[in-house]
Structure 1
């Protein structure tokens, strides 16, 4: 009956395109319009979408040029002065650094390394005068003997100091022995640096550079040192040595002072014995190095002729002789 009730003269529903279900679904849905569509949505994994920014509706404004301000002459002069001051400070800093490096180079020895002997504190006014390193400069086969000679030098210095105290004690018991006390002071002041420079440093240099001249110089000076050790151990009266003769003389006057001087005499005797042993050891090593007297003469001549002081003296003597000959011919 419903079919009969419909108006046969009405237009069919299918003729109206807006009544189409597909069209009505689109118009009624919440699908984004074209102006709101974002072609770059967020990543699907994070579940976020970035809405598109609405187009700016602000009206177009022309760019406005800011007026340029030139610095005043006073500001330019101040900037230039500040730049000059900064450059001057930089130059002064570099000059101070160069002075410091020059002082460091002057404090170093011929090896280019900073001197480390004697081991003095940095605040001490006197700086080290020598560089010494057994493990670096002395070959391994010579290090033991070289160290023993160094220990002998230190042992000799201690013995000379104890000899001074023994002579002082002897002087307090009998004022007629003041000569021994005075000479003991002289021996301590004289032998301590001279022994280091005259026989320890030459043998150190000989082992370091295999120098024949240094070996010969050491043998000559150290043989004299052995003789001095023997004289000191004997203890000739009024020679400033607490040897055996002086010790037995003092023990009859004062037992305590005599015992001190006997101990010093034993130390002098040990120095003499050790010096003889070390002299033989160095000589045996010297014979294995292939050194000779001719090589020592050659090293000496080369050292003399290459010495700047000798060259200047020779040049001045030659010029003086030439001037004298020229004046004599006139």
Structure 2
């Protein structure tokens, strides 16, 4: 039983690890030095006062860092300023454009008491006794999606007029080469005087009005007239003799007689050919635009009937006809 009375947690040898000779020597020396050192003594304060770092010196280092940051941020600031200047110039340009448009609208509103737009075509000088007959402005009246095709039709009309003028010169040369072709020269003058304004009124203005107001009636009127214009272009390109056209037949017939006149007439025949090709292409393009607008023959009939019934000339003519018929019936009775 004596074995069970022993405590296993009690060491049989009483050993103090801090009683080691080396540990005792180290701790005794440390205590001596610690006892001698007083950090708050006047001597120690005097010794450390000359090594204290002033706050201004310690804060000098961040100033160098701030300078480097400013140097790296300078290009970005310059780019931002340039961008702001560019945006300011763009805004000033738009403001000037809006002011110009507003001034134009004010000028138009002050033209007359009725507010009707002043005609600006043909562009005649102010001293001319003849005044413009039509108003034309692609940017204001024609929608953007139809503006390009409408301008092309206008350029076609101008090219058509120039071709007719050159046809007069070619027929004049044709007449000087042989006096029996005076009929062609006379007819060429007639075609130039007649077809230049008629083409403007009969097929260019209708297509302009059609794109301006999406008018089905104007579209149908244009297609009807311009189809015959294409047929006339083909006849002029062929150049039937005695018809007043410097086409391919008449120009080729002059090769053996006068080569210079034949070359001039061939140039005009080429112009007529270009007119035919451009007219055919533009006719197809206008037709494709027409199909997208939703126009129809029924709408054209409605627009025609409404236009006729609301026309003052037609109303006055109908009223005068009705009154004359009534007076004739009363006189018979």
Residue 113 of structure 1, aligned match among 106, 113, 117: 117
Rate the CA distance shift 1:314–1:278 in 2: closer, same or farther, 3 A.
same
Alignment match, 1:263: 267
Instruction: Measure the CA separation in 2 of the matches of 1:279 and 1:111.
Output: 35
Alignment match, 2:184: 180
Alignment match, 1:200: 204
**Structure 1 unaligned blocks of 5 or more:** 1-103
Instruction: Measure the CA separation in 1 of the matches of 2:123 and 2:115.
Output: 18
SS state of the match for residue 183, structure 2? helix
Alignment match, 2:236: 232
Is 1:309 aligned to 2:316, yes or no?
A: no
CA displacement at 1:169 relative to structure 2: 0.6
Instruction: Measure the CA separation in 2 of the matches of 1:130 and 1:313.
Output: 25
Instruction: Measure the CA separation in 2 of the matches of 1:111 and 1:288.
Output: 33
CA displacement at 1:327 relative to structure 2: 2.3
Alignment match, 1:294: 298
Instruction: Measure the CA separation in 1 of the matches of 2:125 and 2:324.
Output: 48
Alignment match, 2:90: none
Rate the CA distance shift 1:164–1:111 in 2: closer, same or farther, 3 A.
farther
Is 1:216 aligned to 2:220, yes or no?
A: yes
Give the alignment's Cα RMSD to 1 decimal: 1.3
Deviations 1:66-89 (A, max 9, x none): xxxxxxxxxxxxxxxxxxxxxxxx
Residues paired across the two proteins, number: 223
Q: How does 1:1-330 map to 2 (within 5 A)?
A: 105=112, 112-329=116-333
Deviations 1:36-95 (A, max 9, x none): xxxxxxxxxxxxxxxxxxxxxxxxxxxxxxxxxxxxxxxxxxxxxxxxxxxxxxxxxxxx
Deviations 1:124-167 (A, max 9, x none): 11111111000100000000000000000000111011110011
CA displacement at 1:114 relative to structure 2: 1.3
CA displacement at 1:284 relative to structure 2: 0.5
CA displacement at 1:113 relative to structure 2: 1.4
Q: Taking structure 1 as the reference length, what is the TM-score of the superposition?
A: 0.66
SS state of the match for residue 152, structure 1? helix
SS state of the match for residue 253, structure 1? coil
Instruction: Measure the CA separation in 2 of the matches of 1:144 and 1:319.
Output: 50
Alignment match, 2:67: none
**Structure 2 unaligned blocks of 5 or more:** 1-110
SS state of the match for residue 117, structure 1? coil
